[in-house]
Amino acid sequence: MDRTTTLGQGEPVQPSAPRPTAIGAAPMTLRARRPAYGVMQECLRLQAEAPGRSRAQRFWGVDPVAPAARSWFKGALGERRVAAELDRLGPAFTVLHAVPIGTGSTDIDHLVIGPTGVFSINTKNHSGQQVFVGGGSFMVGGGRTSHIGAAQSEGRKATRLLSTAAGGSFSVQPLLVVAADRITFGKKPAPVVVLRPDQVRGWILGLRPVYSDEAVRYLSMVAEERATWHATAFVPDDTLRLEQRFDRLVRDVADARVRRRRAALAVALGVVGLPIAGLVALGGIAPALLGS
**Rounded-to-10 torsion of CA 31, 32, 36, 42:** -140
Task: Supply the pLDDT for residue 6.
Answer: 42
User: Whole-angstrom Cα distance, residue 292 to residue 286?
Assistant: 10
Query: Which of 55-59, 111-115, 245-249 has the lowest average pLDDT?
Result: 55-59
- Does 16 have pLDDT greater than 50? no
* Nearest residue to 168 (alpha-carbon basis) of 14, 19, 17, 18: 14
Q: What is the mean pLDDT of residues 233-244?
A: 72
- Does 100 have pLDDT greater than 50? yes
Q: What is the mean pLDDT of residues 16-25?
A: 42
Do you know the residue count of the chain? Answer: 292
* Nearest residue to 119 (alpha-carbon basis) of 220, 16, 198: 220
Number of H helices, E strands in the chain: 10, 7
Q: What is the mean pLDDT of residues 254-258?
A: 93
- Does 73 have pLDDT greater than 90? yes
Task: Supply the pLDDT for residue 164.
Answer: 96
SS3 labels along 27-67: CCCHHHCCCCHHHHHHHHHHHHHCCCCCHHHHHHCCCCCCH
How many other β-carbons are positioned within 10 Å of the β-carbon of residue 199? 14
User: Whole-angstrom Cα distance, residue 75 to residue 246?
Assistant: 12
CA distances from 283 to 2, 38, 143, 184, 269 (A): 70, 33, 35, 42, 22
- Does 96 have pLDDT greater than 80? yes
Task: Supply the pLDDT for residue 235.
Answer: 55
Q: What is the mean pLDDT of residues 140-163?
A: 95
- Does 195 have pLDDT greater than 50? yes
Q: What is the mean pLDDT of residues 215-227?
A: 95
CA distances from 233 to 30, 52, 122, 161 (A): 11, 37, 23, 13
- E strands, 12-149, are 94-100, 107-114, 117-134, 137-140, 143-144
Task: Supply the pLDDT for residue 212.
Answer: 95
User: Whole-angstrom Cα distance, residue 153 to residue 137?
Assistant: 15
Q: What is the mean pLDDT of residues 159-185?
A: 96
Q: Give, for 181, the enclosing helix (H) or strand (E).
A: strand 172-185
Task: Supply the pLDDT for residue 10.
Answer: 44
Task: Supply the pLDDT for residue 23.
Answer: 39
The string of DSSP codes covering 184-216 is: EE-SSPPSSEEE-HHHHHHHHHTSPP-S-HHHH
Q: What is the mean pLDDT of residues 60-69?
A: 94
User: Whole-angstrom Cα distance, residue 91 to residue 72?
Assistant: 31
The burial class, CB within 10 Å (0-12 / 13-18 / 19+), for 252 is middle
Distance of CA 8 to the CA centre of its chain: 29
